[in-house]
Amino acid sequence: MRAFTKLTGIVLPMDRSNVDTDQIIPKQFLKRIERTGFGKFLFFDWRFHDDGSDNPDFELNRPQYRGATVLLAGRNFGCGSSREHAPWALEDYGFRVILAPSFADIFYNNCFKNGMLPVQLDDAQIEDLFARAATHSGYQLTADLETCTISDDFGLSLAFAVDESRRHCLLHGLDDIGLTLQHEEKILAYEQAAGIA
């Protein structure tokens, strides 16, 4: 898993609440077993017309948001079924940070396990960020996990809270397996003592 310390990137404002995992990555694309290659299917039903052409009205297809790495979203982002493919698709497309007033619990946990930083801010802070993104073309934010702050070039600085164990794992690029392998010597010693190594 890629470590996350600090990122400055273009913000994609998606002012929608209750964006569910089936909209993030529709079910017909869940047959793949790799973690990569899902970015091209991200928000597929909103992003493309029935004939496969780009929907110019969808946020992700607007030229000013090309290359965005910070997703600004509405309340209850990532609700619906508990598919890990949703953060895989977002990360594969290029998003590393998601800002929202609230997240579905399973999606929130899956983000940390896949090298993404989900940041929960209050409604007023999120509304202010939407207003800033509308005012400044190519609006960028910096997410700093070491200081737990979100900032911009216009004087904004917001503190956010994150569980310390999740913060540690993300800063060091440790998924569950990587975290376990930090104790590899102890595991091996136990297996040898138990006669199973």
Region 25-46 average pLDDT: 91
Taking a C-beta distance cutoff of 8 angstroms, is the pair 90, 114 a contact? no
Q: How far apart are CA 48 and CA 82, in angstroms?
A: 24
pLDDT > 90: percent of the chain? 81
Average pLDDT, integer, range 137-150: 97
Least-confidence region, from 71-85, 144-158, 178-192: 178-192
Cα–Cα dist 150/99, whole Å? 10
Q: Which helix (H) or strand (E) holds 158?
A: strand 157-159
Q: Confidence band (pLDDT; 50, 70, 90) for 76?
A: very high
Q: DSSP E strands: which ranges in 1-120? A: 6-14, 70-73, 97-100, 117-120
Q: What is the mean pLDDT of the chain?
A: 92
pLDDT for position 35: 83
pLDDT in tens, 123-134: 999 999 999 999
pLDDT surpassing 80 at residue 192: no
pLDDT of 187 reads 65
**Percent of the chain whose predicted confidence (pLDDT) is above 70:** 94
Q: For residue 182, what pLDDT band results from cuts at 50, 70 and 90? A: low
Q: All domains of the chain, ordered by start, with CATH?
A: 6-194 (3.20.19.10)
- Owner of token pair 């569980």: 163
Q: Which two tokens stand for residue 23?
A: 């909209």
Is the distance from CB of 116 to CB of 96 less than 8 angstroms? Answer: yes
Q: Which two tokens stand for residue 54?
A: 């780009």
pLDDT reported for residue 177: 66
